[in-house]
Structure 1
Amino acid sequence: MRGLKLIALLAFVFASASSWQYLVDVKLEPGPTPDDNTIEGVDLDNNGIRDDYERAISDTYVDDDLIKVAISASQEWKSLIKISLDEDIIITQDFASEKFSNLISLDKCFSELRRINPKFETPSKIYFNTLERAMEKRKAENKLFKALKGDLRSVQVAENPCLNIDLVK
């Protein structure tokens, strides 16, 4: 029964479009993970996905649909890290609202997947796998919150957040 619920939920995921970035023709072929002590990480194959994350999701998820969801999410988190590290990025209220909407939708979607399958490991734990990365995530969220001036009324989260995920084409 859980398998059918997971398949139904993933069908909703594939039937949607949102403001998240699309990746085109991404092939996961993770090689050995290089030593990496940077916040942004290393992407030796230049496919837009941090190599250690690519390796970890390939090792964690056997279902292609979950791998695609994890790849999609990585693009949102990658932009979040850039917000934290790049002081020149101008953060408007609209931009902050959109980012928060996407981030909360991601979290709610992964919570739904975890509800269906309690053994599901959220990709955010895999992506923010060091204290430094987790701290940069928090720093970016604080910058976004500051741009909203504490007013979260503009943050819109879909009732069925998994519908808002764009997957790899």
Structure 2
Amino acid sequence: MKRKLAFVAIASALFAGCVFDENELLGADSDSNGVRDDYEESIEQSNLPTYVAELAITAGKAYQSLLQQSVTEEVPTKEQASDILTSLVLAEKCKRQNQAEYGVTWKESLYFNTFDRTEAKFKTQAVLLSMLEGDDISIPDGNSCEMLMNI
């Protein structure tokens, strides 16, 4: 009960004055693959190599899980908060790895392409970090892109 009250207090403080339209924030996902259609189309129309484009779509699932958390009333467990944040860190590490190895990568801003989405991203990350109660996010050593594909 204490965890739920703490989450509600932190979330309430961070989201004070924020009214997110769930449909607008999450967008359309007509094929129900967990990735917003407009992001998927942007990636498909980009000049990214196929492998990098597939990673970008997988990263989109991590981004969507964060936005989904911003509109749910369900309080995440510490493990769920850690899982969402871990997937975001893996997506960022993978993005940087692709830039270093291939000289190209996707832009996270294609996903967080409105003010509300960007605001929800930062505020939800802050709430999820507070759920960890000071614990670090554990990122295993190894190829972050391979790990991202397996989440």
1-structure distance, mates of 2:130, 2:86: 15
Aligned to 2:126: 142
Superposition deviation, residue 62 in structure 1: 4.2
TM-score relative to the length of structure 1: 0.66
More helix by share: 2
- How many pairs were matched up? 127
Aligned to 1:156: 138
Q: Does 1:122 align with 2:106?
A: yes
1-structure distance, mates of 2:85, 2:146: 16
Structure 2, unpaired ranges of 5+: 1-22
Give the root-mean-square deviation of aligned CA atoms: 2.0
2-structure distance, mates of 1:140, 1:61: 31
Alignment CA distance shift 1:117-1:40 (3 Å) = same
Contact 1:105–1:158 under 8 Å retained in 2: no
Q: Alignment partner of 1:91: what SS?
A: coil
Which consecutive segments of 4 or more residues in structure 1 shift more than 4 A? none
2-structure distance, mates of 1:165, 1:58: 19
2-structure distance, mates of 1:144, 1:42: 25
Superposition deviation, residue 102 in structure 1: 1.6
TM-score relative to the length of structure 2: 0.73
The one of the two structures with greater contact order (alpha-carbon pairs below 8 A, sep at least 6) is: 1
Aligned to 1:60: 46
Contact 1:57–1:123 under 8 Å retained in 2: no
Contact 2:96–2:105 under 8 Å retained in 1: no
Match of 1:165 among 144, 148, 151: 148
Match of 2:94 among 81, 90, 109: 109
Structure 1, unpaired ranges of 5+: 1-36
